[in-house]
Structure 1
């Protein structure tokens, strides 16, 4: 494999690698005749992020004749590859070249600078070869929702940065986004957030089945941030909760797809690909309903504060009867005067010692 990326496209590659680094620590590289792919998985194997750079993304893209019908794959650690893309490379470099020979332990990166014809060569050692099989097609879902990146960015701004998950309750008329699940106890110091999105607010809205999908916010935030940098539309492709959700970005020269594991929080049985998190387990299998309001929590009962204060006073009186009070600490009757000498009626010169010189003033 021998490919050259022009300097004008290096910003896309750098932002793509920064997004992938937020998901996983290992980077898979797959070269095909139609382009080069960068893939990573998170530690729990619930998120797969893929950046496909099409052949039009490169100024030169060549495959060896022996490997033209095969997929060339290798794996490299993200920590040794990402430092190569620090700074504004699109302003410094003329091109970025990737060279790799099948079954080699090294991969070569050549960086041609615009000034002084400097070519910097980096040879990085690869990790052990591993076959990566996803088994999920990004457009296999029967429902599809699309909106602009700014639309999803405004949606994410409604949630706290501490929120780890989001639940989409999807109907043919609207999408209700929540940071909690109906019927579950509210966590302490948690602010419940609910946003209603009408179908007319989306660029395209095709829903074949009403469902609820719960998934992680971290990959969603990462993808929306990348999409907003290059003003790309964000497509959701899914079927039902418990099956993988595909989030897709498309550009004439590259494509991005995040496959995220989901679960249906209101279903008795969750899919095996659902995110393995203890907080995802719902104590109640209560179905969402339109009649349920936000006043169902214990924190919103009428006169709860007055009843609570009365209960505290009763408990305090009961404790006073059972547990005797501690004896008061003895108080000293002596008062220390910091400037006590200022209040003395007389003053003795012997306190100051011998007089070495008389007063200059007669008074």
Structure 2
């Protein structure tokens, strides 16, 4: 695998890797004959993320793999964050970036070609891994929304970051965002933001539902989604089934984020201290179903 990126595309790739690194402890790389996917899943399997870069995204893309094959490996997120670090120096001085596998495909080499003839080279050991896929179906989701990425960001900014969970209530003509809490009493602050269906570019709700998921995970992905697309697609079904956020930039790249939601009986947990509630609620989330395909680094899709 050999890829070359220009500065603008490099910043997008770095932002993508950084956002995945905030969700999971490892970043999975899957290189095909004409595309590159980076993925992650967190330790509790409550969130899965995948960013798909197609060949046209890169200035140069070369893969020695036969058609239909994949080259797969993973790298700790901490190592990725040290190499793919967005700084003012990168934006001002890096002219292009080259990535390739070297040393019998055991090391990922990243080279930054900078002004004044400076070349910075980083080598990261890679670990062979299985193909990681979340099991979900956009077509089978009962509800499909399309909303402005900027508007969604403004909505989320109305909620306290200390409020760990966010609930979306879908009705036939209105969608309501609200913070999720088990506590009751005069000290409890409830924030609700209702949106009319006309606020969405697409609002198809075939099944009324109420889904609750981690707000922190949504905050992590929003800045990257705003970078690549003005619109975000949302797919959901019912409590306990994953909620999916997706965005696309023309035919060059796309991103999908799959978050676990809490089962419908999650609200029955007893009142207690907030930390205890959050811990119990988190443990009640239905994990995102995952599929591990093959244990070899190269194989059929």
Higher relative contact order (CA 8 A, sep 6+): 2
Residue 241 of structure 1 and its aligned partner are, at CA, apart by: 1.8
Equivalent position of 1:159 in the other structure: 159
Tell me if the contact between 2:34 and 2:63 (Cα under 8 Å) persists in the aligned partners: no
Tell me if the contact between 1:139 and 1:246 (Cα under 8 Å) persists in the aligned partners: no
Q: 1:241 to 1:259 in 2, by over 3 A?
A: same
* 3-state SS of 2:216 partner: helix
Counterpart CA distance in 1 for 2:226 and 2:108 is: 32
Residue 236 of structure 1 and its aligned partner are, at CA, apart by: 0.2
Tell me if the contact between 2:229 and 2:247 (Cα under 8 Å) persists in the aligned partners: no
Residues 268-327 of structure 1 deviation map (CA, whole Å, 9 limit, x = unaligned): 99xxxxxx9513699xxxxxxxxxxxxxxxxxxxxxxxxxxxxxxxxxxxxxxxxxxxxx
Q: 1:190 to 1:3 in 2, by over 3 A?
A: same
Equivalent position of 1:112 in the other structure: 113
Counterpart CA distance in 1 for 2:237 and 2:213 is: 14
TM-score scaled by length of structure 2 = 0.82
* 3-state SS of 1:38 partner: strand
Residue 3 of structure 1 and its aligned partner are, at CA, apart by: 1.1
Equivalent position of 1:72 in the other structure: 71
Counterpart CA distance in 1 for 2:84 and 2:170 is: 40
Residue 189 of structure 1 and its aligned partner are, at CA, apart by: 4.3
* 3-state SS of 2:10 partner: helix
Tell me if the contact between 2:41 and 2:47 (Cα under 8 Å) persists in the aligned partners: yes
Map 1:1-363 to 2 at 5 A.
Answer: 1-64=1-64, 66-86=65-85, 87-88=87-88, 89-100=90-101, 104-113=105-114, 115-180=115-180, 184-186=182-184, 189-230=187-228, 232-252=230-250, 253-266=252-265, 277-279=279-281
For structure 2, the 5+ residue unaligned runs are 269-277, 285-301
Residue 188 of structure 1 and its aligned partner are, at CA, apart by: 8.3
Tell me if the contact between 1:143 and 1:207 (Cα under 8 Å) persists in the aligned partners: yes
Larger radius of gyration: 1
Tell me if the contact between 1:147 and 1:234 (Cα under 8 Å) persists in the aligned partners: yes
Q: 1:99 to 1:191 in 2, by over 3 A?
A: same
Tell me if the contact between 1:140 and 1:238 (Cα under 8 Å) persists in the aligned partners: no
Residues 95-122 of structure 1 deviation map (CA, whole Å, 9 limit, x = unaligned): 1111126972211112111x22232222
Q: 1:230 to 1:191 in 2, by over 3 A?
A: same
Counterpart CA distance in 1 for 2:283 and 2:188 is: 18
Tell me if the contact between 1:100 and 1:106 (Cα under 8 Å) persists in the aligned partners: yes
Residues 119-169 of structure 1 deviation map (CA, whole Å, 9 limit, x = unaligned): 222221113534423222455423210111121112112211101111111
Residue 56 of structure 1 and its aligned partner are, at CA, apart by: 1.0
Residue 36 of structure 1 and its aligned partner are, at CA, apart by: 0.7
Tell me if the contact between 1:50 and 1:258 (Cα under 8 Å) persists in the aligned partners: yes
Counterpart CA distance in 1 for 2:153 and 2:215 is: 12
RMSD, matched Cα: 2.6
For structure 1, the 5+ residue unaligned runs are 270-275, 283-363
Q: 1:244 to 1:101 in 2, by over 3 A?
A: farther
* 3-state SS of 1:9 partner: helix
TM-score scaled by length of structure 1 = 0.69
* 3-state SS of 1:8 partner: helix
Residues 318-345 of structure 1 deviation map (CA, whole Å, 9 limit, x = unaligned): xxxxxxxxxxxxxxxxxxxxxxxxxxxx
Q: 1:188 to 1:17 in 2, by over 3 A?
A: farther
Q: 1:228 to 1:194 in 2, by over 3 A?
A: same
Counterpart CA distance in 2 for 1:25 and 1:48 is: 12
Q: How many residues align?
A: 272
